[in-house]
Amino acid sequence: MTKQLILMRHAKSDWGAADLADHDRSLNPRGQAAAPLMARWLAAHHGVPEVVLCSTATRTRQTLEKMQAVWDTERQEPSSSEAQFSADLYLATPETILRVLRAGAGQADSVMVLAHNPGIEMLAATFSQRMVTFPTATVAVFEIELENWSQLRSDSVLRRIAFKRPTELS
């Protein structure tokens, strides 16, 4: 069965408050604009993911909120995306991202992981079989033949079908 994996780095965050913990940084205006832009592009070209596995950081949660608002509005009904928040995805290694994905994706055919660099970039590079630069709000879409997400490994063969940065859309 063909499954779709979407890897996304959170939108641009605000570095203005020096006393704020990294986990608690929110989106800056550029990030607030990029998240809905990427949501529209993703929905138009690859659909809305059934499951979103999201880091618990404020900037990833806000990125997802902005995206779900677009998906809900454009579909004229609540998004069917099931959001699962995992502290393990905060600054996760590629191996940790895979572990969370295998455990949390269930039977969904389309899953998005919304997390951070360097882990998300490293995993995208592994699956692309080449180095990739993954600026904020970048999305990579892959397809893979799997019966169950629990079978996904770092050496699995995935086909990258899309790679989009918000600067390519604005």
**Residuewise pLDDT in 10s, the chain (170 residues):** 999 999 999 999 987 777 788 898 899 999 999 999 999 999 999 999 999 999 999 999 999 999 999 998 766 555 567 899 999 999 999 999 999 999 999 999 999 999 999 999 999 999 999 999 999 999 999 999 999 999 999 999 899 999 999 999 96
Architecture, CATH, for domain 2-168: 3-Layer(aba) Sandwich (3.40)
d(CA 124, CA 119) in angstroms, rounded, equals 9
The DSSP line for 58-126 is: HHHHHHHHHHHHHHHHHHTS---PEEEEEGGGTT--HHHHHHHHHHH-TT-SEEEEEE-TTHHHHHHHH
Domain ranges of the chain: 2-168
Res 22: pLDDT: 82
d(CA 126, CA 5) in angstroms, rounded, equals 13
CB 10 within 8 A of CB 136: yes
Distance separating the N- and C-terminal Cα atoms of the chain? 35
DSSP H or E stretch at residue 35: helix 29-46
